[in-house]
Amino acid sequence: MGFITQTARQYYSAEEGFIGTGSQSTFTLTFDPLPDNIDAFTLFIDDVEIANTNYTYTASTGVIDFTPSTPPILDAVIKVVLKQTRHGNYRYISLEDIVNNFMVSYVGDDKIINTVKKLDVIFHTKRAVQEFSYDISKVEKIQEIQVGPTLTVPFPQDYVNYVQLSFVDTNGIERIIYPTTNTSRPSESILQDNNADYLYDSDDSLLTGTAVIKDRFKGIENIDNTGSFDDLNSSISIGGLGQRFGNNPETTQTNGLFIIDELNGQFGFSSNLESQILTLKYISDGLGTDSEMKVHKLAEEAIYKYVAHAVLASKANIPEYIINRFKRERRAAMRNAKIRLSNMKTLEMAQVMRGKSKQIKH
């Protein structure tokens, strides 16, 4: 049996059609996966949109039911169109399939793993997805955000680490923004009296307020940040750090800067970026939602090796040479997966190297 379960119409146009019989009131969708809820699709009869108050939908079975409303008339063209589509899912295998395949192939009599609880396999598989998301099968999520008057942007809900922050110019080109090491965002600002003594509240806890450095960085002007390139004798960095020779790339650019507030989960930006459109590229752990828990097929074998080693290493009375064998196999499979997913193309590399082979004349 083939792996493709959707028709070409369902995949490319995200729609499925039925013909009314005049008496049939239920219709079963065959999308894979099925829509999560009734708001995930739009239903048309003879090209007229039908409000979802005229039918019900069961997500577990994919059944649309027009009872007690009047069923579609004879020869009526019924069309269900998904509001959001995802192409390219064939590249991935679901976490559920990974677990089931592992239980069949690695667990049982006359196999390396005689017995293991399925919950243990699920745990180690999720850990594998996390580790692979960080280093091997990295999928960069990209958010488009406009910077508001506060000059701060919150971390995405499933944020683990950022890859790149850029602002988008009028031509749609991304201009990289660099983090600065010349300032920071304090986790707390201690309140003090006129003698600089700490202040306490009624239960003897320290009183805290708004950090002054936050407001000062918010008000920084771009010229104060990077200086001017017109005067070769001038300093072109923050506070005179890094003069004309040996400049720091962090400070010798005019795109702007950002700082990371780990405690409050925010990025803070220099004032020249207010109202700018940003792109935030970041890494998730691959476990944020059910639909994200999947593995690229080029890394599928590496996942099995990772889980096998993790299960064996956590069991008692397993010979050390067996654990070391699977450790080596895991390392080799992960290396192969990383090479495969690096997406290096021979023709593209050759084209780049042709340019690198040119002689530079002085």
Instruction: Chunk the chain into consecutive blocks of 10 residues (it has 362) and report each block's average pLDDT, rounded to whole numbers.
Output: 80 93 93 90 94 93 89 94 86 91 92 92 94 82 91 91 91 89 76 87 84 67 46 42 56 80 86 90 86 87 95 92 94 93 83 72 56
Distance from the Cα of residue 171 to its chain's centroid: 26
Residue 194: the pLDDT is 87
Going by DSSP bridges, is the β-strand pair 189-190/208-209 parallel, antiparallel, or unpaired? antiparallel
Residue 224: the pLDDT is 47
Residue 333: the pLDDT is 95
Q: How many helices (H) and strands (E) does the chain have?
A: 8, 18
Residue 155: the pLDDT is 94
Torsion of CA 226, 230, 235, 239, to 10 degrees: -30
Angle, alpha carbons 248-251-255 (nearest 5°): 135
Instruction: Using DSSP, state whether 356 is helix, strand or coil.
Output: helix
Rounded to two decimals, the pTM is 0.73
Number of neighbouring beta carbons within 10 Å of residue 230? 7
On whether the CB atoms of residues 67 and 34 are closer than 8 A, the answer is no
Residue 237: the pLDDT is 45
On whether the CB atoms of residues 325 and 339 are closer than 8 A, the answer is no
Residue 76: the pLDDT is 94
Residue 358: the pLDDT is 64
Instruction: Mark residue 224 as left, alpha or beta (left: phi above 0; alpha: psi -120 to 50; beta: remaining).
Output: alpha
Joined together, the tokens standing for residue 122 give 């699920």
